[in-house]
Amino acid sequence: MVSDIKKELERNIGRKVRITVYGMRNRKEVVVGTIKEVYPNIFTVSSRDISKSFSYSDVLIGDIKIEYL
């Protein structure tokens, strides 16, 4: 469930992660950074001087994979 994913990310704020985003047409983007904030519908990951946001529902359906480093 989305609430379980949110709770897990809240416990790991500040931890380094590798986020793999599976896009359309077999495209894949990899972001390595730290979990910065957890909001009601999204969470943010900061990598160097950029910050990206991701939704819990994308994690739930498998469009995003999270690996803790």
Q: Where are the alpha helices (DSSP H) in the chain?
A: 2-11, 56-61
pLDDT of 49 reads: 84
pLDDT tens, position by position, for the chain (69 residues)? 889 999 999 999 999 999 999 988 889 999 999 999 999 999 999 988 899 999 999 999 999 999 999
pLDDT at 1: 86
Provide the pLDDT for residue 7. 94
Could you give the C-alpha distances from 69 to 12, 17, 26, 41, in angstroms and in order?
Answer: 11, 5, 25, 24
> Beta strand 28-38 with 16-22: parallel, antiparallel or unpaired?
antiparallel
- Ordered by where they begin, the domains of the chain are 2-68 (2.30.30.100)
Type of residue found at 31: V
pLDDT score at 30: 93
